Amino acid sequence: MRSGMVAVVGKANAGKSTLVNVLVGEKVAIVSPKPQTTRNRILGVMNREDAQVAFVDTPGIYRSKTALSDLMMRTAETSAKDVDMLLYVHDGHKGIDDSDIALMKKFRAFGVPMIIAYTKTDILPKENIPADAEKLAEAGISCDVYPVSARKGKNIRKLEEAIIALLPEGERLFPEDVLSDKSEKFMVGEIMREKILLRYDKEIPHGIAVIVNTFRKREEGNIYDIDLDIICEKSNHKAILIGKQGAALKETLSAARKGMESFLGAKVFLTAYVKVKDDWRDKPGLLKEYGYGSEE
């Protein structure tokens, strides 16, 4: 039996959360085409007869502008210490430039085993793969590189075996039925945020926080009552979020409700209020209130 903690690191939008979901086999982290989708450190646990791997999904690395993104950067870096291994996720279809090499070297210097998942192979020319592997070797990045497609499920099992082979022998760190350290209530708020990320552009999704006030399963029937606040950082954002006669919000809530229903395997009654808290992303007190405290 092998087991251990694996920090999943890399640039924002590389495909880290998608890969963690595929490896765990369940949705433990939300995914969107926008950077900064993942804000918290999320544990996703893969259980097998002969192994248990606890993946620590992290916010990606990018230039930070607000107190929230500072916090996310620190979360990414501290999560990468005190683990058995690093899984560095690289977006293969973006090529490899000096900033990638620098970031890989930085994580490499942590002194724990590291594997590179070169992902999104479904959307890049095959011949890029050996060329990029050579680039990495020339730059002195000595770890193994696994080309995968999380979206198409390609080469995932090979990557899984490679990860397990690098982990120490040992018993499970978590009970076998544990998939994540986050609650269903947390995921429901995240699903709301995911649908907002998918629907709105520019600063709006990045300025959103979701607070789940009620998360209650009814005594009868497989039904949840969910009541939440959507916080935006500017009043003009609120107007855009709601849309003409509430049409935009209505569609977004409907998508969120469906996402929650499929996550919970139950019927959901969803109520949402949109509120404005000016520039909450720069206010440490509000950050904490909205669940973005330091998790170290």
Residues that bind Mg ion (CB under 5 A): 16-17, 37-38
Q: Which stretch binds ligand GDP (CB under 6 A): 13-21, 44-52, 69-77, 173-181?
A: 13-21
Binding residues among 91-130 for ligand GDP as defined by CB under 6 A:
119-120, 122-123
From the list ligand GDP, Mg ion, none, pick the one residue 144 interacts with, judged by a Cβ distance below 5 to 8 Å according to partner type.
Answer: none
**Bridge partners for 154 per DSSP:** 149
From the list ligand GDP, Mg ion, none, pick the one residue 18 interacts with, judged by a Cβ distance below 5 to 8 Å according to partner type.
Answer: ligand GDP
From the list Mg ion, ligand GDP, none, pick the one residue 159 interacts with, judged by a Cβ distance below 5 to 8 Å according to partner type.
Answer: none
In the complex, the smallest distance separating the C-beta of residue 14 from Mg ion, rounded to whole angstroms, is 8
Which residue, 120 or 195, is less far from ligand GDP as judged by CB?
A: 120
- Residue 154's identity, in one-letter code, is K
In the complex, the smallest distance separating the C-beta of residue 150 from ligand GDP, rounded to whole angstroms, is 4
In the complex, the smallest distance separating the C-beta of residue 16 from ligand GDP, rounded to whole angstroms, is 3
Please select the residue that binds ligand GDP; options are 24, 27, 32, 257, rule is CB under 6 A: 32
Q: Are 114 and 88 in contact (CB under 8 A)?
A: yes
Which residue, 38 or 69, is less far from ligand GDP as judged by CB?
A: 38
From the list Mg ion, ligand GDP, none, pick the one residue 168 interacts with, judged by a Cβ distance below 5 to 8 Å according to partner type.
Answer: none
In the complex, the smallest distance separating the C-beta of residue 224 from ligand GDP, rounded to whole angstroms, is 25
From the list Mg ion, ligand GDP, none, pick the one residue 149 interacts with, judged by a Cβ distance below 5 to 8 Å according to partner type.
Answer: ligand GDP
Which residue, 37 or 47, is less far from Mg ion as judged by CB?
A: 37
Q: Are 293 and 213 in contact (CB under 8 A)?
A: no
Please select the residue that binds ligand GDP; options are 150, 164, 188, 209, rule is CB under 6 A: 150
User: Nearest Cα to 204, choosing from 32, 42, 63, 72?
Assistant: 32
Which residue, 3 or 149, is less far from Mg ion as judged by CB?
A: 149
Which residue, 2 or 120, is less far from ligand GDP as judged by CB?
A: 120
Please select the residue that binds ligand GDP; options are 18, 155, 180, 252, rule is CB under 6 A: 18
Q: What is the 3-state secondary structure (H, E, C) of the chain?
A: CEEEEEEEEEECCCCHHHHHHHHHCCCCCCCCCCCCCCCCCEEEEEECCCEEEEEEECCCECCCCCHHHHHHHHHHHHHCCCCCEEEEEEEHHHCCCHHHHHHHHHHHCCCCCEEEEEECHHHCCCCHHHHHHHHHHHCCCCCCEEECECCCCECHHHHHHHHHHHCCECCCCCCCCCCECCCHHHHHHHHHHHHHHHHCCCHHHHCCEEEEEEEEECCCCCEEEEEEEEEECCHHHHHHHHCHHHHHHHHHHHHHHHHHHHHHCCEEEEEEEEEECCCHHHCHHHHHHCCCCCCC
Does 155 sit near ligand GDP (CB under 6 A)? no
- Report residue 253 as tokens: 């809530």
- Under 8 Å CB-to-CB from 127, ≥6 apart: which residues? none
Which residue, 3 or 37, is less far from ligand GDP as judged by CB?
A: 37
Residues that bind ligand GDP (CB under 6 A): 12-18, 31-33, 37-38, 60, 119-120, 122-123, 149-151
